[in-house]
């Protein structure tokens, strides 16, 4: 998938040097002995502005869902007093295991589950996004990914740089998220449809979202220390949590291997400056490959934004065969607005479909919630 080791950073990854390349200056392709001409891109890249705007909107959406859910929980905790807002089913996006369980239940039975159906629709939306647009969910939508990214920026300011772990350590740690994923897939994979349904209908399954809220509201010292260490890790190493530990990202990364849209490089237009590889938060050797297949690629387009060469690097379908570089990309490039549009289309499409077919909300009476919500912390896992 990926080839050869990188060229020495000190020679080719000096961001100040690349920032001062004169327009259309001639550059020597290191190690290849032939000169290439930099044709600067005519239109400045806007991918990062658009991506950050999408991230911001999704953070706001999640904050709103979180507040609404908190008020809903408080209503029941206070015995039905105070402001009542309907339960926002969108919080089930934070229940990926329920999403996976419900997806399996649906595939086995053809029936949409009654408990946490929104978790399944959101899970399906995020999987579909990864199937089409690499792990764009992680770098464009996921609030944890957004937090990781900004912690990395903060760390860069604080320490003057982000760190990359030695290759072998990095590879070993990256395997952790697949081990975690394997554990969940094994446990869920061995459950029958009846067992899945039975689990969801237990008070514990029904209150999974309330228990998650309570975990953060009443966080213990150990959990706070672990979260603090993970945040520190993300300041030191870009996307620490996503890169090493997130099983959801691992699953989406595996799905993303099928994506027809990838980061692709035109070797003729590329001047081999290495700026893209230096900029890539996933540490991928973008400058050495004609396409990035890696499960680590999040489709963030940071590499595309960093490249100053016209038509050298794109997020695209397979390029056409043509003698002229520009023609190879004709109707093949998926620009940042198109990415944002596709993400919105998939997300809203599945949410609106679930709402229109009356499968969005968990159908549970107020009396049951009145009984269970205040007791959520006392509910033990049915397997214990």
Per the CB < 8 A criterion, the answer to whether 121 and 357 are in contact is no
The yes or no reply on residue 313 touching ligand SF4 (CB under 6 A) is yes
The 3 state secondary structure assigned to 181-232 is HHHHHHHHHCCCHHHHHHHHHCHHHHCHHHHHHHHHHCCCHHHHHHHHHHHH
User: Of the two residues 324 and 364, which places its CB atom closer to ligand SF4 in the complex?
Assistant: 324
What is the sign of the dihedral through the CA atoms of 270, 274, 277 and 278? negative
The yes or no reply on residue 255 touching ligand SF4 (CB under 6 A) is no
Stretch that binds ligand SF4, among 172-180, 210-218, 278-286, 321-329 (CB under 6 A): 278-286
Stretch that binds ligand SF4, among 57-65, 186-194, 238-246, 294-302 (CB under 6 A): 294-302
What is the sign of the dihedral through the CA atoms of 65, 67, 68 and 70? positive
The yes or no reply on residue 298 touching ligand SF4 (CB under 6 A) is yes
* Residue choice 142, 292, 340, 351 for contact with ligand SF4 (CB under 6 A): 292
Strand-pairing partners, residue 28, are 35
The yes or no reply on residue 261 touching ligand SF4 (CB under 6 A) is no
The yes or no reply on residue 297 touching ligand SF4 (CB under 6 A) is yes
Question: In angstroms, what is the C-alpha Rg of the chain?
Answer: 23
The yes or no reply on residue 273 touching ligand SF4 (CB under 6 A) is yes
Stretch that binds ligand SF4, among 58-66, 225-233, 305-313, 360-368 (CB under 6 A): 305-313
* Residue choice 286, 343, 354, 372 for contact with ligand SF4 (CB under 6 A): 286
* Residue choice 275, 311, 314, 316 for contact with ligand SF4 (CB under 6 A): 275
Among 384, 268, 260, smallest CA distance to 323 is for 268
The yes or no reply on residue 340 touching ligand SF4 (CB under 6 A) is no
* Residue choice 124, 234, 272, 354 for contact with ligand SF4 (CB under 6 A): 272
* Residue choice 133, 246, 255, 300 for contact with ligand SF4 (CB under 6 A): 300
Q: Which two tokens stand for residue 203?
A: 């008070």
User: What's the CA gap between 97 and 103, in Å, rounded?
Assistant: 10
The yes or no reply on residue 295 touching ligand SF4 (CB under 6 A) is no
The yes or no reply on residue 265 touching ligand SF4 (CB under 6 A) is yes
- CB of 301: closest distance to ligand SF4 in angstroms? 5
Count of residues that bind ligand SF4 according to CB under 6 A? 28
The yes or no reply on residue 280 touching ligand SF4 (CB under 6 A) is yes
- CB of 289: closest distance to ligand SF4 in angstroms? 9
The yes or no reply on residue 336 touching ligand SF4 (CB under 6 A) is no
In the chain, DSSP assigns E strands to 26-28, 35-37, 262-265, 313-316
The yes or no reply on residue 274 touching ligand SF4 (CB under 6 A) is yes
The yes or no reply on residue 270 touching ligand SF4 (CB under 6 A) is yes
262 phi, psi to nearest 5 deg: -140, 170
The contact mask relative to ligand SF4 for 142-171 (x = CB under 6 A, - = no) is ------------------------------
User: What's the CA gap between 47 and 41, in Å, rounded?
Assistant: 14
User: What's the CA gap between 83 and 92, in Å, rounded?
Assistant: 22
CA dihedral 148, 149, 151, 155 (to 10 degrees): 130
Q: Cα separations (Å) of 256 from 127, 194, 239?
A: 8, 31, 18
User: What's the CA gap between 357 and 368, in Å, rounded?
Assistant: 24
The yes or no reply on residue 263 touching ligand SF4 (CB under 6 A) is yes
Q: What is the DSSP letter of 137?
A: I
Q: Which two tokens stand for residue 40?
A: 């600067």
Stretch that binds ligand SF4, among 105-113, 146-154, 173-181, 292-300 (CB under 6 A): 292-300
Contact residues toward ligand SF4 (CB under 6 A) are 263, 265, 270-276, 280-282, 284, 286-287, 292, 297-303, 306-307, 309, 312-313
């Amino acid at each position: 998938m990926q080839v050869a080791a990188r060229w020495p950073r000190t020679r080719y990854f000096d961001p100040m040097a690349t920032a001062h390349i004169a327009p259309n200056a001639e550059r020597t392709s290191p190690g290849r002995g032939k000169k290439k001409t930099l044709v600067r891109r005519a239109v400045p890249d806007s991918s990062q502005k658009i991506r950050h705007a999408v991230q911001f909107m999704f953070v706001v959406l999640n904050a709103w869902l979180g507040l609404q859910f908190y008020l809903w929980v408080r209503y029941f905790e206070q015995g039905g007093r105070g402001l009542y807002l309907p339960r926002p089913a969108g919080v089930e996006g934070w229940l990926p295991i329920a999403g996976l369980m419900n997806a399996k239940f649906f595939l086995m039975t053809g029936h949409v589950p009654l408990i946490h159906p929104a978790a399944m629709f959101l899970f399906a939306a995020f999987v579909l996004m990864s199937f089409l647009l690499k792990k764009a969910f992680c770098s464009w939508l996921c609030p944890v990914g957004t937090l990781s990214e900004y912690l990395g920026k903060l760390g860069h300011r604080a320490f003057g740089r982000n760190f990359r772990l030695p290759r072998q350590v990095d590879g070993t740690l990256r395997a952790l998220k697949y081990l975690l994923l394997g554990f969940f897939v094994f446990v869920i994979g061995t459950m029958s449809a009846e067992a899945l349904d039975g689990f969801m209908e237990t008070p514990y399954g029904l209150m999974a979202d309330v228990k998650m809220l309570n975990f953060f509201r009443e966080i213990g010292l150990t959990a706070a220390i672990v979260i603090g260490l993970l945040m520190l890790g993300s300041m030191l190493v870009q996307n620490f949590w996503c890169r090493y530990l997130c099983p959801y990202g691992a699953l989406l990364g595996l799905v993303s291997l099928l994506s027809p849209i990838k980061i692709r490089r035109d070797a003729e237009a590329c001047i081999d400056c290495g700026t893209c590889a230096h900029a890539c938060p996933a540490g991928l050797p973008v400058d050495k490959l004609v396409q990035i297949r890696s499960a680590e690629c999040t489709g963030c387009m940071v590499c595309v934004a960093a490249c100053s060469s016209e038509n050298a690097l794109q997020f695209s379908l397979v390029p056409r065969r043509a003698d002229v570089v520009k023609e190879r990309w004709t109707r093949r490039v998926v620009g940042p607005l198109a990415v944002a549009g596709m993400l919105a289309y998939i997300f809203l499409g599945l949410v609106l479909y679930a709402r229109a077919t009356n499968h969005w909300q968990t159908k549970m009476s107020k009396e049951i919630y009145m009984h269970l919500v205040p007791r959520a912390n006392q509910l033990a896992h049915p397997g214990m």
